[in-house]
């Protein structure tokens, strides 16, 4: 089938190249000239494992191409909208990009007679497609909602082996067309209304955010309880048959359990944004979403709580040399949006510490604003660990496993290690020099 994808960011490029690899002929439409040039040269404009290979192979086979022109949407049977829907200061989602993209597609398709479906892949709140986008679309074209559930860092695999394809459409033929497009994936397809598909996407992210904040709240309780480690508490919850079914847990655990884990909070472009937007939406329909508000509030305090631990252990943070290890919002990505590492860095700067930062995937030029504020950007883990008094691990980047070895090998005095991800076992580190989130801390 011929397909167009408007917006070639994380979602659009993965969807476009993913559909191309399934045998469809895909046109990616991207307004950003730099992004377009990179994509046309076979390089994704952001770090995403396996995406470059997929992009190069689909470009070479001619099943994927990128353009700025909307002209070719005329040939497509399905047109996906995968543009950004960022949060506005008032907590609502900015629909300007989506409205522009819908108008441009509608304009290019004016007068078209063949059946086409425009599928909203961007994350939106219930009613957006019907109330904000449908009035822009000419008669005869159908709008559907087809949310994306990928995770950055494993987006290509998530697309290929998606747990479910959710299609919200008013007209059965439009849903049938999208279902046919995804058929080669062999994934379960859930057909529903547009508003249900919209709410299901926001609710999924709010659910994951709530699990993380639940875990961190248990972590706070454990941190103040002698002899208790929240990771052990949570692993006992993990072993419940209601989570793992009849599976032998030693053979591997359901991935959902990775959200029932203490850490330095959720970040990224989706969980905070979608939870905040859902809270605002819930209020707008007369509800008081106390659980979601609490999940957000726990998350917002998590960076400060970790920095406070460092503050107490070091007896003040002014002029203290502290390394923040991990600046992207999680391992495996270079995405800085709503990153816990950056929140920790901001908190350290507010307390007049002298931070140094290192992330194996984030290039130094993305951190220039921090360099201007006096933050040292280390080009290696070894360099980040030199001459510091403490380090805070904020992502589970595999490189950080070697922190204890590097500290032992160094001639500088051993810094305090604050493990904000429970990445290390603590082995090889002096007990008083290793503080782990979720574990009782004698000085608290």
Ligand X SMILES: NC(=O)c1ccc[n+]([C@@H]2O[C@H](COP(=O)([O-])OP(=O)(O)OC[C@H]3O[C@@H](n4cnc5c(N)ncnc54)[C@H](O)[C@@H]3O)[C@@H](O)[C@H]2O)c1
Q: Which amino acids are annotated catalytic? A: 270
81 - beta bridge partners? 6, 120
- 176 near ligand X, judged by CB under 6 A: no
Of 199 and 307, CB closest to ligand X:
199
DSSP code at position 87: B
Q: Which residue has the tokens 């800085």?
A: 336
Nearer to ligand X, 66 or 260 (CB): 66
| Nearer Cβ to ligand X (82/156) | 82
Distance CA 437, CA 444 (A): 12
Contact 44, 51 (CB under 8 A): yes
Show the site string, 119-148: x = touches ligand X by CB under 6 A, - = not: ---xx------------------------x
Q: Closest approach of Cβ 117 to ligand X, in Å?
A: 18
Of the two residues 100 and 308, which places its CB atom closer to ligand X in the complex? 100
Minimum CB separation of residue 109 from ligand X in Å reads: 14
Phi/psi for 193 (5° steps) reads: -85, 160
93: helix, strand or coil: strand
Indicate the residue among 65 and 354 with the shorter CB distance to ligand X.
65
CB of 14 to ligand X, least distance (A): 8
Name the residue with the smallest CB distance to ligand X: 9
Least distance from C-beta 204 to ligand X, angstroms? 10
Candidates 25, 52, 100, 176; binder of ligand X (CB under 6 A) is 100
Q: How many CB atoms lie within 10 A of CB 299?
A: 24
Question: Which two three-digit tokens encode residue 309?
Answer: 């631990």
Distance, CA of 54 to CA of 60 (rounded, Å): 10
Which one of residues 56, 97, 190, 433 is an interface residue with ligand X (CB under 6 A)?
A: 97
Counting contacts by CB under 6 A, is residue 84 touching ligand X? Answer: yes
Kindly tell me which of 8 and 295 has the beta carbon lying closer to ligand X. Answer: 8
Strand order in the sheet with 2-6: 64-67, 25-29, 2-6, 78-81, 116-120, 141-145, 165-169, 189-192
Contact flag: residue 83 with ligand X (CB under 6 A): yes
The structure tokens listed for 253 are 């655990």
Q: Which residues pair with 166 in a beta bridge?
A: 190
**Contact between 152 and ligand X per CB under 6 A:** yes
Q: Which stretch binds ligand X (CB under 6 A): 2-10, 132-140, 377-385, 401-409?
A: 2-10
Tell me which stretch binds ligand X (CB under 6 A): 80-88, 175-183, 211-219, 241-249: 80-88
Cα separation, 200 vs 155, whole angstroms:
19
Q: Which of residues 6-45 bind ligand X (CB under 6 A)?
A: 6-12, 29-32, 35
Q: How many residues bind ligand X (CB under 6 A)?
A: 27
Q: Which is nearer to ligand X, 54 or 323 (CB)?
A: 54
Which of 5, 44, 59, 101 binds ligand X (CB under 6 A)? It is: 101
Stretch that binds ligand X, among 93-101, 221-229, 242-250, 356-364 (CB under 6 A): 93-101
Alpha helices in 4-115 (DSSP H): 10-21, 33-40, 51-61, 96-108
- CA separation, residue 428 to residues 276, 312, 417, 436 (Å): 41, 23, 12, 14
CB atoms within 10 A of CB 92: 15
How far apart, in whole angstroms, are the C-alpha atoms of residue 369 and residue 357? Answer: 13
**Nearest approach, Cβ of residue 388 and ligand X (Å):** 32
Residue 360 within binding range of ligand X, rule CB under 6 A: no
Question: Residues 264 to 283: which contact ligand X by CB under 6 A?
Answer: 269-270
Which 308-347 residues touch ligand X, going by CB under 6 A? none
C-alpha 147: how far from chain center: 15
Phi, psi dihedrals of residue 436, rounded to the nearest 5° = -120, 135
Kindly list the residues in this chain that would bind ligand X in the complex (CB under 6 A).
6-12, 29-32, 35, 82-85, 97, 100-101, 104, 122-123, 148, 150, 152, 269-270
């Amino acid at each position: 089938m011929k397909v167009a994808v408007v917006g070639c960011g994380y979602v659009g490029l993965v969807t476009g190249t993913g559909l191309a690899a399934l045998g469809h002929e895909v046109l990616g439409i991207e307004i950003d000239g730099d992004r377009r040039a990179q994509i046309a040269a076979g390089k994704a404009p952001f770090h995403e494992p396996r995406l470059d290979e997929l992009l190069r192979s689909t470009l070479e086979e001619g099943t994927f191409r990128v353009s700025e022109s909307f002209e070719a949407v005329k040939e497509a049977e399905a047109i996906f909208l995968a543009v950004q829907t960022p949060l506005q200061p008032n907590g609502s989602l900015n629909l300007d990009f989506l409205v522009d993209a819908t108008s441009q597609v509608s304009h290019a398709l004016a007068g078209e007679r063949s059946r086409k479906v425009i599928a909203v892949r961007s994350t939106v709140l219930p009613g957006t497609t019907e109330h904000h986008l449908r009035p822009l679309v000419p008669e005869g074209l159908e709008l559907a909602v087809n949310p994306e559930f990928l995770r950055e860092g494993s987006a290509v695999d998530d697309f290929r082996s998606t747990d479910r394809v959710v299609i919200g459409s008013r007209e059965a033929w439009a849903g049938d067309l999208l279902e046919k497009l995804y058929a080669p994936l062999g994934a379960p397809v859930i057909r529903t209304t547009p508003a249900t598909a919209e709410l299901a996407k926001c609710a999924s992210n709010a659910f994951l955010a709530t699990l993380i904040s639940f875990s961190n709240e248990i972590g706070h309780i454990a941190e103040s309880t002698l002899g208790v480690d929240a990771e052990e508490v949570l692993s006992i919850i993990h072993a419940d048959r209601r989570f793992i079914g009849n599976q032998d847990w030693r053979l591997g655990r359901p991935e959902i359990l990775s959200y029932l884990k203490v850490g330095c909070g959720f970040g990224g472009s989706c969980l905070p944004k979608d939870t905040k937007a859902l809270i605002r939406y819930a209020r707008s329909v007369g509800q008081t979403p106390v659980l979601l508000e609490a999940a957000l509030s726990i998350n917002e305090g998590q960076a400060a709580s970790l920095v406070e631990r460092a503050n107490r252990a070091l007896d003040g943070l002014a002029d203290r040399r502290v390394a923040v290890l991990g600046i992207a919002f999680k391992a495996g990505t270079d995405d800085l949006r709503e990153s816990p590492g950056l929140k920790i860095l901001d908190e350290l700067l507010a307390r007049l510490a002298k931070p140094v930062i290192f992330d194996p995937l984030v290039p130094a030029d993305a951190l220039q604003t921090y360099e201007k504020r006096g933050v040292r950007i280390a080009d290696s883990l070894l360099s980040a660990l030199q001459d510091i008094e403490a380090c805070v691990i904020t992502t589970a980047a595999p490189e950080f496993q070697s922190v204890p070895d590097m500290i032992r090998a160094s001639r500088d005095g051993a810094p305090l290690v604050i493990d904000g991800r429970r990445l290390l076992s603590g082995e090889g580190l002096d007990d008083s020099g290793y503080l782990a989130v979720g574990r009782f801390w004698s000085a608290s």
